[in-house]
């Protein structure tokens, strides 16, 4: 019964389940809406199995369906790259669906449940599309369904603003992708990706396609300076949708970039790497500087997504640079870093967003300064969130460090570049990535410390409750994935080898078979760089447990409780704790003056006065002001000028038409 190519059929079934669930959700009564998540989880599981099988079987399956544009139809293709990203998407969907099953249905449900499977299905379909029309259709479906989910709470003005910015950016992005595919198709207009692969473009057209793809897919992925919608829209959506948008949809955008740049566009030029490296390094550090200041738990996570996308971009940029300089092993390692980081980020970012959702549900707030002490009332969520926070800070032996390590190995190969610019840029990139690693740790120590540790800063936080079982299960499974991904990072990298050979031209730059243990992650060769997470984890675990056991056995394990010392002046009010804003003050003093001209004004009453003191912090977001608000205002001003055209007399309209005709005739006469 199961023949060759069953994987693609299984994916079609999964897509059908997603579509069916979306349709059924429109008609189901509210109390039955949980079925949508059951169906989505089933579809995602089926798809994960099919994609794993397709990936390891190294199959390339094609299908041509007679729907879509007349004469073109719909080309479908499942290859290693789409299977890998499909795995990312469907594992994410599986986890958010388990989480979603634990959500209480309320008035909003009817606006969320029909769109959720549509969104999941659209992301899956984008990965399978093998022609420009199908790709853009599903891409737009993905954008619109997620947009509708963002504005599900449309009575909230912030949600509306987020939705508006997202809609504008998404439309602009799709437009840019349309140009990219137009350039790839060329004059002959072959929509199918196969035709595009075969065609040869002039350098100018390739450059334009690259630029358009960077704008189109980059804005979806959230690379700076096209990130503006992300910190607005991702937090506005329901938490499990936020997790999908941040953890998974950004990866679909990364997939689009890899598909266009590494696959369709042909042999890379060395300078193609420049925008990737520059934008990636800027995003990695820039976004974190916003994240360490932010007061909103979910917005902070959205900023951190921009940072991680920056790291993925840096990896892709290095891969392009090495590939074009004909150094395949280093290209393989850089591409592996990018792909593994995409996988890792989808896990820990989903975990963190789902955890934030649990916190939001338990306390009704996502303001850091109103939370605190949740480790007492939400022990499971806290423990899992801690793992996610440590993983995203790239700390060993968790998964975030694997990709970070690979990326540094790639950076270290930088001096072999023939171009001086790249030689110069690689240590700069190394410095920026190192800075980002330090800032990420600060950002997530601050977030975990203020939300989960300490004492509750508001009554809501003091009376919080643990999330339902389904939600802690989803978060816990993701935490498990973060741990396993860290310990088995070497195997993941090794499994990626076929993809690396195909897209970077590297054969076995990453090896696990020759190392001291089967889990060792080896870059280049064993004598050069090696990292073995299980051994380190084993040593840390053994030494901490034996130390603890020895002390408990031979010394004492007695513990007493008594009021906190706090230098002799403990204060019962939780307001005397450090808050999130005070936590970030040193960082603001160090970095903030330059980056967002943070100014602090202190209004201190004179001694003896009973007046309240005031402390204000002002930020300015230069990117938002100069790249978004000012052009928008300019556009507005221009369109107001042209508004005149709506109020002319009939004679003037006739003159306008006539003069247009004359101009067109002159143009035709001159150029044809």
Partner 1 sequence: MPATIQSFVAQGAQMFFVLAIAPAVTGITRKVKARLMRRRGPSIFQPYRDLLKLVRKDSVLAPNATWFFRSAPYMIFAFTWVAAALVPTLASGLMFNWAADVVALVALIGAARALLALAAMDAGTAFGGIGSSREMMIASLAEPASLLVALTIAFAAGTTRLPEVAQFLIAQPLEIRVSFALAFVALVIVALAENARIPVDNPATHLELTMVHEAMVLEYSGRHLAMIEAAGHLKLTLYISLIICLFLPFGMAPFDGTAGAWAIGIGSYLAKLGLAAVALGVWEVSIAKMRVFRVSEFLGGAFTFAFLAILLEFLSREVQR
Scanning residues 271 to 330, which ones bind partner 1 (CB under 8 A)? Answer: none
Cβ proximity to partner 1: between 241 and 425 the closer is 425
8 A C-beta contact, residue 268 and residue 553 = no
Q: Which is nearer to partner 1, 415 or 631 (CB)?
A: 415
Q: Can you give 202-222 as a three-state secondary structure string? A: CHHHHHHHHHHHHHHHHHHHC
| Closest distance to partner 1 from the beta carbon of 408 (Å) | 5
Residue 564 CB coordination number (10 Å):
9
Range 490-549, binding partner 1 (CB under 8 A)? 516, 520, 527-532, 535-536, 539-541, 543-545, 547-548
Binding pattern for the stretch 557-576 against partner 1, x by CB under 8 A and - elsewhere? xxxxxxxxxxxx-xx--x-x
Q: Cα Rg for the chain, rounded, in angstroms?
A: 27
For partner 1, the closer of residues 218 and 396 by Cβ is 396
Asked if residue 298 lies in contact with residue 235, where contact means CB atoms within 8 angstroms, the answer is yes
> Which of 565/636 has CB closer to partner 1?
565
User: Positive or negative CA dihedral for 133, 138, 144, 150?
Assistant: negative
Residue 559 or 639 having the CB closest to partner 1: 559
Query: In this complex, which beta carbon is closest to partner 1, that of residue 111 or of residue 455?
Result: 455
Please report how close the Cβ of residue 393 comes to partner 1 at its closest, in angstroms. Answer: 6
Window 398-427: residues binding partner 1 (CB under 8 A): 401, 404-405, 408-409, 411-412, 414-415, 423-424, 426-427
Query: Which of 52, 141, 435, 462 is close enough to bind partner 1 by CB under 8 A?
Result: 435
Q: Is 484 in the site for partner 1 (CB under 8 A)?
A: no
When the beta carbons of 566 and 640 are compared against partner 1, the nearer one is 566
- The site that binds partner 1 (CB under 8 A) totals a number of residues, namely 90
Bridge partners of 485, per DSSP, are none
Distance, in Å, from the CA atom of 582 to the CA atom of 577, rounded to the nearest integer, reads: 9
Interaction pattern, residues 100-129, with partner 1; x per rule: CB under 8 A? ------------------------------
Q: Is residue 431 at the binding interface for partner 1, with CB under 8 A as the rule?
A: yes
Burial 390-428 (b: 16+ CB within 10 A, else e): bbbbbbbbbbbbbbbbbbbbbbbbbeebeeeebeebbee
Binding segment (CB under 8 A) for partner 1, from list 21-29, 31-39, 51-59, 445-453:
445-453
β-strand pairing of 614-618 with 74-78: unpaired
Q: Which 369-398 positions form the footprint of partner 1 (CB under 8 A)?
A: 372-373, 375-376, 386, 390, 393-396
Residue number, 225 or 438, with CB nearest to partner 1: 438
Tell me how far, at minimum, the Cβ of 118 lies from partner 1, in Å: 40
User: What residues between 574 and 603 interact with partner 1 by CB under 8 A?
Assistant: 574, 576-579, 582-587, 589-590
| Polymer length in residues for the chain | 672
Rank residues 28 and 439 by Cβ distance to partner 1 and give the closer one.
Answer: 439
Task: Look up residue 62 and give its two tokens.
Answer: 């094609």
Strand partners, 511: 522
Q: Does 604 bind partner 1 (CB under 8 A)?
A: no
Residue 495 Cβ, how far from partner 1 at the closest point, in Å? 21
CA–CA dist 104, 108 (Å, integer): 10
Q: Distance (Å, rounded) from C-alpha 510 to C-alpha 530? A: 10
Instruction: Scan for tokens 């998540």, then name that residue.
Output: 37
Instruction: Enter the tokens of residue 621.
Output: 């977001």
Contacts of 81 (CB under 8 A, 6+ apart): 255, 258, 259, 263, 499, 502, 503
Choosing from 453, 483, 491, 627, the residue that interacts with partner 1 (CB under 8 A) is 453
Which is closer to partner 1, CB of 218 or CB of 430?
A: 430
Q: Give me the least distance between CB of 551 and partner 1, in Å please.
A: 5
* 632 scored as a contact of partner 1 (CB under 8 A): no
CB of 669 to partner 1, least distance (A): 58
Q: Which is nearer to partner 1, 551 or 654 (CB)?
A: 551
Within a 10 A sphere around the Cβ of 521, how many other Cβ atoms?
26
Window 334 to 373, contacts with partner 1 (CB under 8 A): 372-373
Binding residues among 28-87 for partner 1 as defined by CB under 8 A: none
Count the Cβ atoms, other than its own, within 10 Å of residue 603. 10
The residue (of 201 and 442) whose beta carbon lies closer to partner 1 is 442
By C-beta, is 564 or 644 nearer to partner 1? 564
Closest approach of Cβ 230 to partner 1, in Å? Answer: 23
User: Is the preceding omega at residue 397 within 30 degrees of 0, hence cis?
Assistant: yes
Residue 542: CB atoms within 10 A of its CB come to 10
Shortest distance, position 193 Cβ to partner 1, whole Å: 38
Residues 374, 376, 382: CA angle, nearest 5 degrees? 55
Task: CB nearer to partner 1: give 313 or 401.
Answer: 401
Residue 285's alpha-carbon distances to 20, 90, 481, 554, 617, in angstroms, are 43, 30, 26, 48, 21
Is the bond leading into 225 cis (omega within 30 degrees of zero)? yes
* Bridge partners, 77 (sequence order): 62
Q: What is the largest CA-CA distance in the chain?
A: 103
Nearer to partner 1, 40 or 512 (CB): 512
Q: How far is the CB of 243 from partner 1 (least distance, A)?
A: 23
Write out the two tokens for 591.
Answer: 């970095």
Which DSSP helix (H) or strand (E) runs through 35? helix 34-57
| Cα(94)–Cα(44) distance, integer angstroms | 5
CB of 114 to partner 1, least distance (A): 41
Binding mask 234-263 for partner 1 (x = CB under 8 A): ------------------------------
Per the CB < 8 A criterion, the answer to whether 583 and 449 are in contact is yes
Q: Shortest distance, CB of residue 8 to partner 1, whole angstroms?
A: 40
Give yes or no for a contact between 183 and 201, defined as CB atoms under 8 angstroms apart. yes
Check binding of 615 to partner 1 (CB under 8 A): no
Q: Provide, rounded to whole angstroms, the least separation between the CB of residue 284 and partner 1.
A: 12
For partner 1, the closer of residues 543 and 633 by Cβ is 543
Residue 407 beta carbon to partner 1: minimum distance, rounded to whole angstroms: 10
Angle at 304 between CA 303 and CA 305, to 5 degrees: 90
**Angle between helices 273-291 and 420-451 in degrees, nearest 10:** 20
Distance of closest approach, residue 357 Cβ to partner 1, in angstroms: 22
- Lookup: tokens for 615: 């402390």
Q: Give the three-class secondary structure for 573.
A: coil
């Amino acid at each position: 019964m199961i023949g060759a190519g069953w994987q693609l059929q299984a994916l079609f079934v999964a897509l059908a389940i997603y579509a069916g669930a979306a349709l059924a959700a429109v008609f189901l009564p509210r109390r039955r809406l949980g079925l949508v998540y059951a169906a989505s989880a089933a579809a995602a599981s089926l798809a994960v199995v099919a994609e794993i099988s397709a990936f390891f079987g190294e199959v390339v399956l094609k299908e041509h369906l007679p729907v879509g544009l007349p004469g073109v139809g719909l080309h479908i293709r499942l290859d290693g790259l789409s299977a890998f990203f499909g795995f990312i998407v469907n594992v994410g969907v599986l986890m958010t669906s388990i989480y979603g099953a634990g959500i209480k249905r309320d008035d909003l449900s009817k606006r969320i449940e029909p769109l959720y499977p549509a969104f999941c299905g659209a992301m899956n379909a984008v990965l399978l599309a093998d022609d420009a029309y199908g790709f853009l259709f599903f891409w737009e479906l993905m954008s619109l369904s997620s947009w509708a989910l963002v504005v599900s709470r449309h009575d909230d003005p912030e949600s509306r603003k987020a939705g508006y910015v997202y809609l504008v950016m998404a439309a602009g992005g799709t437009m840019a992708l349309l140009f990219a595919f137009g350039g790839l198709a060329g004059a002959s207009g072959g929509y199918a990706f196969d035709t595009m692969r075969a065609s040869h473009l002039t350098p100018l057209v390739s450059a334009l396609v690259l630029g358009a793809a960077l704008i189109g897919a980059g804005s979806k992925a959230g690379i700076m300076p096209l990130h503006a919608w992300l910190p607005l829209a991702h937090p506005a959506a329901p938490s499990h949708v936020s997790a999908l948008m941040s953890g998974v949809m950004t990866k679909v955008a990364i997939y689009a970039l890899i598909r266009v740049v590494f696959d369709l566009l042909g042999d890379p030029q060395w300078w193609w790497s420049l925008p990737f490296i520059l934008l990636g390094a800027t995003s990695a550090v820039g976004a974190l500087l916003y994240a360490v200041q932010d007061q909103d738990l979910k917005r902070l996570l959205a900023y951190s997504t921009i940072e991680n996308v920056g790291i993925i971009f840096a990896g892709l940029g290095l891969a392009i640079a090495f590939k074009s300089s004909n150094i395949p092993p280093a290209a393989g390692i850089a591409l592996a870093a990018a792909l593994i980081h995409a996988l890792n980020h989808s896990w820990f970012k989903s975990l963190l967003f789902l955890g934030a959702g649990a916190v939001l549900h338990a306390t009704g707030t996502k303001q850091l300064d109103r939370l605190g002490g949740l480790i007492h009332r939400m022990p499971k969520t806290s423990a899992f969130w801690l793992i996610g926070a440590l993983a995203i800070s790239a700390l060993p032996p968790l998964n975030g460090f694997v990709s970070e390590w690979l990326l540094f190995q790639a950076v270290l190969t930088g001096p072999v570049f023939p171009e001086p610019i790249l030689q110069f840029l690689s240590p700069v990139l190394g410095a920026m990535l190192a800075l980002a690693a330090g800032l990420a740790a600060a950002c997530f120590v601050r977030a975990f410390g203020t939300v989960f540790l300490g004492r509750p800063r508001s009554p809501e936080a003091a009376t919080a409750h643990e999330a339902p079982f389904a939600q802690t299960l989803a978060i816990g499974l993701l935490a498990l994935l973060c741990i396993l991904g860290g310990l088995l990072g070497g195997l993941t990298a090794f499994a990626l080898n076929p993809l690396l050979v195909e897209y970077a031209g590297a054969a076995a730059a990453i090896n696990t078979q020759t190392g001291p243990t089967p889990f060792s992650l080896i870059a280049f060769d064993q004598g050069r760089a090696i990292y073995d997470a299980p051994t380190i984890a084993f040593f840390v675990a053994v030494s901490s447990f034996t130390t603890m056991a020895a002390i408990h056995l031979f010394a004492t394990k007695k513990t007493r409780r008594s009021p906190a010392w706090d230098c002799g002046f403990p204060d019962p009010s939780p307001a005397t704790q450090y808050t999130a804003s005070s936590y970030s003050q040193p960082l603001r003093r160090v970095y903030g003056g330059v980056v967002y001209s943070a100014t602090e004004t202190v209004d201190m009453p004179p001694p003896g006065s009973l007046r309240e003191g005031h402390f204000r912090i002002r930020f300015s977001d230069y990117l938002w002001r100069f790249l978004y608000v000012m052009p928008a205002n300019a556009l507005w001003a221009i369109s107001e000028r042209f508004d005149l055209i709506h109020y002319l007399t009939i004679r003037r309209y006739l003159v306008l038409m006539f003069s247009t005709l004359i101009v067109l005739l002159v143009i035709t006469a001159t150029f044809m």
